[in-house]
Amino acid sequence: MKLALWQIAGFPADVAANLAALEGTAQAAAAAGAALLLCPECWLCGYNIGDAVTALAEYSDGASAQRIAAIARQHGIAIAYGYAERDKTSRQLYNAVQVIGADGAVLSRYRKTHLFGPAERAAYQAGSQFEVPFDFGGFKIGLLICYDVEFPEAVRSLALLGADALLVPTALTDEYAAVPNFIVPARCVENQIYLAYCNHAGVENGMRFLGGSCLTGTDGKALVAAGAEDALIIGEISRRARDAAANTYPYRADRRPELYGLLNVKAD
């Protein structure tokens, strides 16, 4: 199954422009045979937009979600996108990702559980749970967002819930190259999973992003990777390779959960 990752500078605080750009990108990804298109963290409104996020946050079934569903149906491709979500009941904001299938139906959604830095913590509430991986194309797909993947417990939790692959929209700045270069490959090997890590490009309101989006295989090697500029990259994941990795690196089978009680202890 082919996955497309859309690394893009985008249009900060301009939802209409980002949606317009999605039209052509979804068409190109579908024409290349991709079953799913992944967009970066907070792609819909922009990541580093300050107080504007309050006005641009949307409900999970809001106008933009409906537009994205129409694009997905038109081009026959699932779309996973980062956005600022407003909860209908509490009105609180969450850094979220939503996956809409090629038929326009919602497949899954997730709220970021590990917020990074004072700006995120001021703008958003932290999500309270991981979501059970959803079935897609013969795989079980899990969701995390950016900083989440840097916690081994988060990735292992989804692996233990049955995930074969993770979609991770991110907004990684250029001083953190160790994440795609070392942490992402390690997460793939230690959990025998694929990981699609989709970043922003360029500079947004003074914040310089690394780029470096990648689809990493179960052996820790990049199947496809982007440079620093805007790019649409497409790679293929294989059930056979996923199953073979479990034999080469049998970490899940050889775990000893009875030894790991300290993982529930909060650090000082």
For the annotated catalytic residues, the residue numbers are: 41, 112, 146
Q: What is the rounded (10 degree) CA torsion for 160, 100, 229, 154? A: -20
| DSSP state at residue 263 | G
Identify the three-state secondary structure at position 152. helix
Helix orientation angle between 152-160 and 184-191, rounded to the nearest 10 degrees: 30
- CA-based end-to-end distance of the chain: 44
Neighbouring C-beta atoms of residue 16, cutoff 10 Å: 10
CA dist 133 and 3 (Å) reads 16
Distance CA 22, CA 16 (A): 10
42 vs 48: CA distance, rounded Å: 9
Backbone dihedral angles phi then psi of residue 234, each to the nearest 5 degrees: -135, 130
